[in-house]
Structure 1
Amino acid sequence: MARVKLEHVTKRYEDVTAVDDMNLDIRDGEFVCLVGPSGCGKSTTMETIAGLTLPTEGEVYIGDREVTRLPPKDRGIAMVFQNIALFPHMNVKDNISFGLRLRKYDSEEIDRRVQRASDIVQLEGMLERMPDEMSGGQRQRVAIARAIVRNPDVFLMDEPLANLDAKLRVHMRTELQRLHKELETTIIYVTHDQAEAMTMSDRIAVIDSGELQQIDPPLVCYNEPANLFVAGFIGSPSMNFTPGRVTDGGFTSESYDIEFDPASLGLSPGDSVTLGVRPEDVYPAEQRASVSDPSMTIEARTDVIEPMGDEIFVYVVTTDEMEMDFEAAEAGQLLMSVSPDSTIDVDQDIEVVLDRSKVHLFDDETGQAICHGLSPNAQTGTTTETETEAGDDD
């Protein structure tokens, strides 16, 4: 096991900055997911840790060693890639033990490590099989076992489940959590799938355009996003956003108004802000008695309904927006999650309320969070671990 630390790491490719002044401190034995959209720099960050890419600036530490210029073989790491890349002419045992045989381990030690790794990833009775005789999930477990036998200080996993079908991905997520619990080893996992990150990791590092946006436990990223990007990226379906401005009585937009005391949040009338609320915090008005801190009612009309089995997603458009063009109507749209026994129908005039205790405000100019909750006990701009680590010179 080992701590992994990046200090002011930057990677440039001519006029493109793939990673920009990255400060990241991953604790010994921690499972951290690097998440973000395609091209955000998460794989480049992983490759820099692995030694496959040299940073333009900054230092990389694994354990107590600076490894910035060390080759991958000397860093105490093992990697599992999206492309499983097993040798098709070798059976499972030979694939798992290939690296050990290259390093001239004796046969007794090889057998011991292969047996332990195969037990951990549940490959009992499959060691003599060829790769083409196995399912995708079984082949992925072989690739993980090949990494385990090296007894690395750090596991680096770059979207290892991306090529599996949806059901198998869910199963392998559980397997990886069991693996982490069994090995108690530092795991850094790259994915663009925020559902994987939410379910598996101790902390999530959200990256956009090469910059670290927030690193915190999954529920902190979900409930207290540091900025607009994190709020929109973490959570499926995404958070609702409505641009507007501050008035003496709260928030106003072309779609609806929400009442609160701006002075309690350090806001002034005329400030441009964006209001965010998650679909599960939008309710039909008849349920307001069960809402922690309901807003005033908002008149709306249902637009699209998506039954999901355990819930129904209802897209509603505020009544004032219905006669506008498509883009304007979309800006006034709210996604609401209701119970599966709801009788709401398409093109129905309804009233909705927001739970003000779960409403977020973001600064339009910087995108940074102003507060999480508009109740009297609202939590203003959270100091996240991103900010703490950026100032940590330990």
Structure 2
Amino acid sequence: MANVTLDNVTKRYEDVVAVDDMNLDIRDGEFVCLVGPSGCGKSTTMETIAGLTKPTEGTIHIGERDVTKLPPKDRGVAMVFQNIALFPHMDVYDNISFGLRLRDYDKEEIDRRVERASDIVQLEGMLDRMPEEMSGGQRQRVAIARAIVREPDVFLMDEPLANLDAKLRVHMRTELQRLHKQLDTTIIYVTHDQAEAMTMSDRIAVINSGELQQIDPPLVCYNEPTNRFVAGFIGSPSMNMVDGELTPGGVTTDTFEVALDPESLSGVWDGDPVTLGIRPEDVHPAEAADELAHPTAPIEVTTDVLEPMGDEIFVYLKLDGAEADDTMEGERSSNSLLMSVDPDSDIAEDDEISVVLDASKVHLFDADSGDAIAHGVVDTAAAPAADSAVAESEGGD
């Protein structure tokens, strides 16, 4: 096992910067996911760690060793790729042991390592099978076993589950978590699938345009995103984003206002443009306001499209009767909201309803830089919001 440290690592391809001044400190025995959209630089970052790509600038340490100029075979790493790439003419035993045989390990040591690795990935009784006789998940386990027998300091996995079907991906996520516990070794895992990142990681490193945006435990990235990009990328469906500006009483958008405690903010002033973020599960029908400690005032909306998901229904809402624009870059129009409701809800398309936001879950971002300003904008000086929100939604005088 070993920690992995990247100090100011940059990788340029002529005028394209694939990795920009990357600083990462991955602890010994940690499971870290590098996550981001296609082309963000996550695979290039992993390739520099593996030695498949030489960084233009910066240094890479694995344990106490500076491995920046070492070839891949001398770095103490083993890699599992998206393309499993088993030798079709070799059985499972020969595929797993191939690297050891190249390095002239004796037969007894090879047998010991192959037996141990096959037990870990549950390939008992399959060592004489050919790859064509195995399922996709079994072949993926062979590829993982081939990495395990190397007994590396660090495992590098580049989207190893991407070619599997959805059900098998969920199963293999569990297997990889079990593998990590059993081996107690450092794993760096590249994926664009945030579900994989959220469920498997000790920490997530979110990358965009070659730059590290945030590295934190999954729930910190989800609940306290460092900027608008992380807020929009982590979470499925993505966070609602509505443009507005700060006022003496809170945040004002084109269609609604949210009261906030001015003392919770720093570095911003009245009139500054901001973006308000709220996750779909924190948007509620107004009649549920009395169940919230800090609901906002009711917001008038019209339901648009309903997406039943089994355990919940996603309800697309048009603010103030405005037409919702097409989704761009994973974000919805600033004229719309997405709400998650229980599957037994009686909400229908084209209903005119009122909704409230959970103010303790509202996020504010600087409209220009995208940096987070606040997470939770509760106005502690306001009157109890639940009673007033319910009364207003019921038409009380």
What interval of TM-score do these two structures reach, taking the shorter chain for normalisation?
over 0.9
1:309 aligns with 2:310: yes
Structure 2's unaligned 5+ residue stretches are 381-397
Report if the CA contact (8 A) 1:242-1:275 is conserved: yes
TM-score by length of 2: 0.93
Q: How does 1:53-132 map to 2 (within 5 A)?
A: 53-132=53-132
Q: How does 1:119-158 map to 2 (within 5 A)?
A: 119-158=119-158
1:355 aligned partner, one-letter code: D
Aligned mates of 1:376, 1:251 — CA distance in 2: 11
The corresponding residue for 1:364 is: 367
1:265–1:166 Cα change, 3 Å: same
1:118–1:68 Cα change, 3 Å: same
1:253 aligns with 2:253: yes
The corresponding residue for 1:321 is: 322
Aligned mates of 1:205, 1:38 — CA distance in 2: 15
Task: Choose which of 352, 358, 372 in structure 2 pairs with 1:355.
Answer: 358
Report if the CA contact (8 A) 2:264-2:374 is conserved: no
Task: Choose which of 340, 343, 361 in structure 2 pairs with 1:340.
Answer: 343
Aligned mates of 1:75, 1:282 — CA distance in 2: 49
Aligned mates of 2:198, 2:264 — CA distance in 1: 32
Number of equivalenced pairs = 375
Aligned mates of 1:145, 1:261 — CA distance in 2: 55
1:212 aligns with 2:215: no
Report if the CA contact (8 A) 1:81-1:160 is conserved: yes
Aligned mates of 1:186, 1:162 — CA distance in 2: 21
Deviations 1:90-129, CA, capped at 9 Å, x for gaps: 0000000000111111111111100000000000110000
2:246 aligned partner, one-letter code: V
Report if the CA contact (8 A) 1:262-1:268 is conserved: no
Q: How does 1:168-317 map to 2 (within 5 A)?
A: 168-266=168-266, 267-317=268-318
Aligned mates of 2:43, 2:136 — CA distance in 1: 23
Deviations 1:1-38, CA, capped at 9 Å, x for gaps: 00000000000000000000000000000000000000
Deviations 1:120-179, CA, capped at 9 Å, x for gaps: 000011000000000000000000000000100000000000000000000000000000
The corresponding residue for 1:374 is: 377
Identity of aligned residues (%): 75
Aligned mates of 2:370, 2:94 — CA distance in 1: 52
Aligned mates of 1:141, 1:264 — CA distance in 2: 50
Aligned mates of 1:257, 1:306 — CA distance in 2: 27
Aligned mates of 2:17, 2:55 — CA distance in 1: 11
2:36 aligned partner, one-letter code: G
Deviations 1:260-291, CA, capped at 9 Å, x for gaps: 13344133210110000000000000000111
Report if the CA contact (8 A) 2:274-2:365 is conserved: yes
The corresponding residue for 2:22 is: 22
TM-score by length of 1: 0.93
1:346 aligned partner, one-letter code: E
Give 3-state SS (helix, strand or coil) of 2:7's partner.
strand
Report if the CA contact (8 A) 1:214-1:230 is conserved: yes
2:77 aligned partner, one-letter code: I
Structure 1's unaligned 5+ residue stretches are 378-394
The corresponding residue for 2:386 is: none
Aligned mates of 1:167, 1:199 — CA distance in 2: 15
Report if the CA contact (8 A) 2:314-2:339 is conserved: yes
Deviations 1:288-345, CA, capped at 9 Å, x for gaps: 01112100000000000000000000001112425x9879x93210000000000000
Report if the CA contact (8 A) 1:173-1:196 is conserved: yes
Aligned mates of 1:180, 1:124 — CA distance in 2: 19
With 147-156 and 246-255 compared, the bigger mean Cα shift is at: 246-255
Deviations 1:197-241, CA, capped at 9 Å, x for gaps: 000000000000000000000000000000000000000000000
CA RMSD of aligned residues (A): 1.3
Report if the CA contact (8 A) 1:246-1:262 is conserved: no
Aligned mates of 2:286, 2:121 — CA distance in 1: 50
Aligned mates of 1:86, 1:326 — CA distance in 2: 42
1:173 aligned partner, one-letter code: R
Aligned mates of 2:143, 2:308 — CA distance in 1: 38
1:308–1:29 Cα change, 3 Å: same
Report if the CA contact (8 A) 1:317-1:330 is conserved: no
Aligned mates of 1:292, 1:226 — CA distance in 2: 25
The corresponding residue for 1:389 is: none
Aligned mates of 1:242, 1:173 — CA distance in 2: 34
